[in-house]
Amino acid sequence: MEPTPVATSPLPLDPSPLKLVVDADTGHETGFVEAVEFARLRAQAARYLKPEDLERLDAAYQLASRSHRGQFRISGEPYVSHPLAVTEILAQWHLDAQALIAGLLHDVMEDSGVTKEDITSQFGKVPAELVDGVSKLDRIEFKTYQEAQAENYRKMFLAMARDVRVILIKLADRLHNMRTLEAVRPDKRRRIARETLEIFAPIANRLGLNTLYRELQELAFKNTYPMRYRVLAKALRTVRGDRRELIARVMNSMRERLPVWNVDSEVYGREKHLFGIYRKMLNKHLSFEQVLDVYGFRILVKDIPGCYLALGALHELYKPVPGKFKDYVALPKANGYQSLHTTVIGPQGLPIEVQIRTSQMHAVAESGVASHWLYKENSTESLSDLQRRTTNWLQSLLELQSTSGDSAEFLEHVKIDLFPGDVFVFTPMGQIRNLPRGATAVDFAYSVHTDVGNRCVACRINGEMRPLRSELKNGDQVEITTAQHAHPNPAWLSYVRTGKARAEIRHFLKTVQQEEATHLGERLLSQALRHLGVALGDIGAPAWDKFLKEFNVRSRVDIFTDIGLGKRLAAMVGRRLADLQDGQPTPTGETKPARPRLPTPILIQGGEGMAVQMARCCRPIPGDPIVGLLRKGQGLEVHLNDCPILTRNHSSERDRWVDVEWEAGEDRLFDVGIRVMIHHRRGVLARVAAAIADQEANIQDVNMEGEHSEDAIIHFTIQVKNRPHLARIMRAVRHIPDVVRIVRERSIERPSDKH
């Protein structure tokens, strides 16, 4: 939370003793308040830090105190109370001295004259890097608040990928801000709460910090919907009183039955969090009275065999609800969480949720990745596995960074990946892959390796061939088939679920589009110059240098790319280059007068690429008379000469029209629509489809209108090589007795597709 602005100047770094500071308005001796808060923090840290580390902590406190002197929070408290509270949270997690120092200093680079170099010189490189990772980018100007926030998050995530302590400090910072949000104005309070729900709470969950995750959710709910929070809290207090006897009876029953099964255990009752209850009411459209399972139970045992013994005892005591059992012990969540979850029918028919776990699992569930510091003296294999999982996720953030185009796109990918996976699938070798619910075979392919994703063409799920868009279910075994020359399909973006898959597909498509656009732009500029009687090769380096300087462009390639994407008009670029070239010697050393040349159309090389696309409104095929339209930022769109939509909507854009022709010898397939009117007889659809197939055409889509009437219309999308190929197909279909009429359709849109 930002302090009230004050004039500051660079502060000396000598650790002088703290003196009393008296606030001019209140007369309070703020130094005493700070001393008490720091004494509490120091006592917490002294339980596990070495004496020399405590001395460095003292020095960091002195620097933080002087840096924030005269600064106050919106609530009126001295600002230094905030870093002290943040560092106390870090000390509760038993983070090391470097993290505690960074916690005390996490705001000094933003709010005072202390620099990263100052922190490095006194405390070392690591604390300085941690502080820098947490600091916002206040000194960089952005066009919008959203852009600034996206860049802040991007920097934070990348710093976190290098050192997870960055995000732990940031989470502690956010937790204290959320605990003290009452002083902030309502609109800002709601924005901060929304950010917390969208970004920080999911991060805490992804890192296994369950206690922090729940508290952030509760505080965000309280500050976003204060009235709903109060109403639900009151209703829960009422239920707590009504069901106290019932809860005690369930706990006593469990405590009596478990020893019979030789299970040494502890049983706890727990109240569901308000946000969880609210979300359940919202998602399932329930009233509070209809939410029966507002209480849950937790059983802690000594070891893994005890978990399954306790489960057997529980299912003997109460009937389990079918389909409500989850084994996160054998298959841990992505954040390292392990427990057995079951729902049973308790007394009076109430459903009861029970979690069964070991004490070690409970430590990881509550403290997550922080348990590495909190319990490192008792490091176990499960903690090592958690560290490995966290490291893999942080590494994936670096991969997302390298493939994302900008900060907003990077943040979008990270948000997708923040939610833990719910689907466990297997590779052919028996390895487990954890993916988000709704993930497809394409997501699985990219989870194996980027090259596998980029080159996948088919998949087998449980031994059967299935479409790549098939959603995966728990226990599926997935095998991916790849091809050397395959590449990502833009349509994949409509159904992939993981940030990695989405980022890699977009990165590939952008790269391909840029290469195609550069090649197309060069051809368009060459055509424009020919209209002016100049060859592209005649434009010398002096003319190009003047042009690039005049328009502040780095290279000729950038000009070609902009033309190919429709961001610049080839005619205008050509005219300016021709003017700059007049009187200049050509690259061969000659000074030639302009010679008229015949305009040459651009040759279209066949199937759709990223920079040249066939218009969906008229779907031209080789042999059709065509014209090109440069769409800004999208490249060249090829239309039929008489396309009504082109004429109607783009008559004012004739300077963007380009002469194009089909290149001879291309042997690619193009989508085209045909409409077949038939007498509806048994088997007529099969005969029409067979006639199309006999002419070596692929049927992409079939749609029928009026299938329950005497006459019907069948819409086909088929793939043809050219116009003569289409003519042969239409003749073959027309010879079928029950076919009344066949015509070519211009638009790809079907009547049934319209809403």
Q: Of 382, 362, 398, whose CA–CA distance to 164 is shortest?
A: 398
Q: Please give the full DSSP string across 584-632, using - where no structure is assigned.
A: SPPTTS-----------PEEE-SS--SSEEE-TTT---TTS-EEEEEET
On whether the CB atoms of residues 137 and 127 are closer than 8 A, the answer is no
Structure tokens at 541: 């380096």
Evaluate whether residue 379 is within a structural domain. no
Same domain, 245 and 343: yes
Q: What is the pLDDT of residues 608-667, one digit of tens each?
A: 555 677 888 888 888 888 888 877 666 678 888 888 777 666 555 666 777 788 877 666
Q: What is the pLDDT of residues 139-171, one digit of tens each?
A: 444 445 565 566 666 666 666 667 778 888 888
Q: Of 404, 394, 638, whose CA–CA distance to 505 is shortest?
A: 404
Evaluate whether residue 303 is within a structural domain. yes
Same domain, 68 and 147: yes
Q: What pLDDT score was predicted for residue 204?
A: 82
Domain boundary among 350, 368, 386: 368
The DSSP element (H or E) to which 465 belongs, if any, is strand 464-466
Tell me the residue type at 258.
Answer: L
Q: What pLDDT score was predicted for residue 464?
A: 86
For residue 234, pLDDT over 80 is answered with: yes
Q: Name the 3-class secondary structure at 581.
A: helix
The CATH number for 689's domain is 3.30.70.260
The CATH number for 90's domain is 1.10.3210.10
The Cα–Cα gap between 637 and 620 comes to 10
46, burial (CB in 10 Å: exposed 0-12, middle 13-18, buried 19+): middle
Q: What is the pLDDT of residues 683-692, one digit of tens each?
A: 888 899 999 9
Q: What is the pLDDT of residues 15-41, one digit of tens each?
A: 333 334 444 444 444 456 677 888 888
Evaluate whether residue 613 is within a structural domain. yes
Lowest-pLDDT range of 21-30, 52-61, 324-333, 457-466? 21-30
Provide CB contacts within 8 A for 500, sequence distance 6+. Answer: 396, 399, 400, 413, 417, 446, 447
Same domain, 259 and 210: no
Evaluate whether residue 106 is within a structural domain. yes
Provide CB contacts within 8 A for 484, sequence distance 6+. Answer: 455
Q: What pLDDT score was predicted for residue 138?
A: 41
Evaluate whether residue 435 is within a structural domain. yes
Domain boundary among 631, 657, 683: 657
Structure tokens at 164: 């997870």
Q: What pLDDT score was predicted for residue 299?
A: 92
Same domain, 490 and 529: no
Evaluate whether residue 403 is within a structural domain. no
Same domain, 564 and 488: no
Strand-pair partners of 472: none
Domain count, the chain: 5
Same domain, 347 and 457: no
Q: Of 304, 115, 273, whose CA–CA distance to 201 is shortest?
A: 273
Q: Please give the full DSSP string across 138-207, using - where no structure is assigned.
A: TTS--SSHHHHHHHHHHHHHHHHHH-THHHHHHHHHHHHHHHTGGGS-HHHHHHHHHHIIIIIHHHHHHT
Higher pLDDT, 46 or 390: 46
Same domain, 553 and 581: yes
The Cα–Cα gap between 463 and 644 comes to 49
Residue 385's alpha-carbon distances to 326, 392, 395, in angstroms, are 20, 11, 15
Tell me the residue type at 202.
Answer: P
Domain boundary among 227, 249, 269: 227
Domain that holds residue 297: 229-368
DSSP character at residue 74: T
Evaluate whether residue 416 is within a structural domain. no
CA 432 from chain centre, in angstroms, equals: 22
Q: What pLDDT score was predicted for residue 357?
A: 92
Same domain, 269 and 359: yes
Residue 189's alpha-carbon distances to 200, 219, 221, 402, in angstroms, are 15, 11, 11, 34
Q: What pLDDT score was predicted for residue 588?
A: 55
On whether the CB atoms of residues 605 and 627 are closer than 8 A, the answer is no
Same domain, 634 and 677: no
For residue 356, pLDDT over 90 is answered with: yes
Strand-pair partners of 29: 22
On whether the CB atoms of residues 232 and 278 are closer than 8 A, the answer is yes
Higher pLDDT, 181 or 747: 181
Same domain, 164 and 41: yes
Provide CB contacts within 8 A for 536, sequence distance 6+. Answer: 522, 525, 526, 529
Q: What pLDDT score was predicted for residue 6?
A: 36
Same domain, 150 and 207: yes
Residue 471's alpha-carbon distances to 372, 437, 441, 445, in angstroms, are 35, 8, 7, 13
Evaluate whether residue 374 is within a structural domain. no
Give the catalytic positions in this structure. 110-111
The dihedrals phi and psi of 480, each to the nearest 5 degrees, come to -100, 135
Tell me the residue type at 679.
Answer: H
CA 671 from chain centre, in angstroms, equals: 33
Same domain, 697 and 571: no
Average model confidence (pLDDT) for the chain? 78
